[in-house]
Amino acid sequence: MSSKAVRLLVIFSVYLMVNGNNPKSQRTLLPNVLVLEVTGQQAQFTLPCLDSTAEMKGILVENIVWMVNGADTRIRGNTFIVYLEESFGGGNYTCYSEERALLNHTLVLLQQVGSKRADLNCTAQNYDGGFHCYWKYPKQSLWTVALVKAERLGPSVEDTRCITNASGKSWTSFSSEDTIIHCDLDRAVAPNPGPLYYSPTALDLDTGGNGTTCRETCPQPEETQLLRVSVCVYSENFILEEYSNVGFYVREIVKPDKVKIEKVNATMAEWSYPESWSSPHSYFPLVSQVVVRKNCKKCGNCTGRNNGQMVTNHAPGVFQFEIKKTKILCVRIRDPLYASQWSDWSRHRVGKKLKKNRYPVDSVRDF
């Protein structure tokens, strides 16, 4: 670097130190993960290596060296001035002793003032405490998940804390009321960043989206507090974005797995509750919606002309339905006690009648 360029860099640095704005706000997302809210204007932030004199014991300030994203900066001292301009300034900041012993590391993420949270969609197979949430990434960037936080909303929500495991693939949220919710990333791929980086798990983004599976250790039989899930991700430029929902009850997002239709005889079909559905079935009932067509390649395209028939259980957890002629049977199920989601459609072709039906069928028309 020429002497003229060095002088210009020094002048610019002094200008920022005197006239530069500080970030609008700052918060700790996780230990060693710092979020700075920025406006897009030039600003600066003083990042410490060691916070206390006890940590400094036996270490000379002038022997502390700094690296940014694995590159040596040749800057020494206990503090590092992070210069922020537009979307630049975030990164992995690490400080070492002169013997290259790691002293501290901080992942600095930038969040634009006024940035909006994107929608997060969640579904549950049953009432056993597990649920799945998914989101869509913009396709032009590689994104990394920094935090997944699931919590019950209530008086103790401000006390909720979240920890991540060493691999960066799962998070556990705790509240003062002992509500514990554990979340794991889907399709997580462990990165190999080397010893100079602190990096949560990078993901396989072939589908343009991703998800997380969460489980509440003590499911609530009668929910009184909403669930809220938040996901924080950052781009290659260390820009933070958040996905979240306003809150939901599990009963609102339950979507049973699709059923498997079996043939009893040429004119009788039968299906049972999915194996994943909650038990006992007397406490967690299901109802079936049945649509019959002469010909139908995809059930979703053949169900608009009427609402079909509502079929109740023939035996605990078992449904049966009679078809008198060769037709296509489309079936889906849901919880009848709440306006939750229907399962995906199951399709079955019933052959010609061979013999008289063996079982009666309970059905309610004009659903």
Average pLDDT value over all residues in the chain: 78
pLDDT recorded at residue 354? 39
Among the ranges given (67-71, 122-126, 155-159), the one the predictor scored with the smallest mean pLDDT:
155-159
The residue with greater pLDDT, 159 or 86, is 86
| pLDDT of 9 above 50 | no
Give the burial string for 245-269 (b: 16+ CB within 10 Å, else e): beebbbebbbbbbbbebeeebebbb
For each of the domains in the chain, give its residue range(s) and CATH number, in order of start. 3-112 (2.60.40.10), 118-252 (2.60.40.10), 258-364 (2.60.40.10)
| pLDDT tier at 157, thresholds 50, 70, 90 | low
Q: Which residues contact 129 (CB under 8 A, 6 or more apart)?
A: 215, 216, 217, 218, 219, 250
| pLDDT of 20 above 70 | no
Name the residue among 275, 257, 259 with its Cα closest to residue 321: 259
Residues in the chain: 367
pLDDT recorded at residue 24? 73
Among the ranges given (2-6, 22-26, 136-140, 235-239), the one the predictor scored with the smallest mean pLDDT:
2-6
At 348-358, the pLDDT tens digits run 887 654 344 44
Among the ranges given (55-64, 225-234, 303-312, 324-333), the one the predictor scored with the smallest mean pLDDT:
303-312
At 217-266, the pLDDT tens digits run 877 767 888 899 999 989 888 999 888 888 899 989 999 999 999 888 87
| pLDDT of 16 above 90 | no
At 315-324, the pLDDT tens digits run 778 999 887 7
| pLDDT of 210 above 90 | no
Highest mean pLDDT: which of 49-53, 76-80, 299-303?
Answer: 76-80
| Average of per-residue pLDDT across 8-15 | 42
